[in-house]
């Protein structure tokens, strides 16, 4: 798929913005995600987990 289509789907005005996201390496993504606090605290619901596993 071409980059301009992906940029359009994401709502980016410029393909350069999309390019910044795809050029970040996996280690940088891991480091960033490790710094982010969860927005919600998930509770373990056995029925929900069973349903998700079945998907």
pTM of the model: 0.40
What is the pLDDT at residue 42?
Answer: 65
* pLDDT tens digits, 3-19: 888 888 889 888 888 88
Percent of the chain with pLDDT over 70: 89
Tell me, what's the pLDDT at 55? 86
pLDDT, tens digit, for every residue of 27-44? Answer: 887 888 888 877 666 667
CA angle, 21 as apex, 20 and 24 as ends, to 5°? 85
Mean pLDDT computed over every residue of the chain: 81
CA dist list (Å): 16 to 7, 20, 21, 29, 43 = 9, 6, 9, 18, 39
């Amino acid at each position: 798929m071409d980059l301009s289509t992906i940029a359009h789907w994401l709502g980016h005005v410029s393909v350069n913005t999309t390019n910044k996201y795809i050029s970040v390496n996996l280690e940088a993504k891991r480091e960033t995600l490790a710094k982010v606090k969860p927005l919600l605290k998930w509770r373990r619901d056995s029925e929900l987990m069973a349903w998700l596993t079945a998907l």
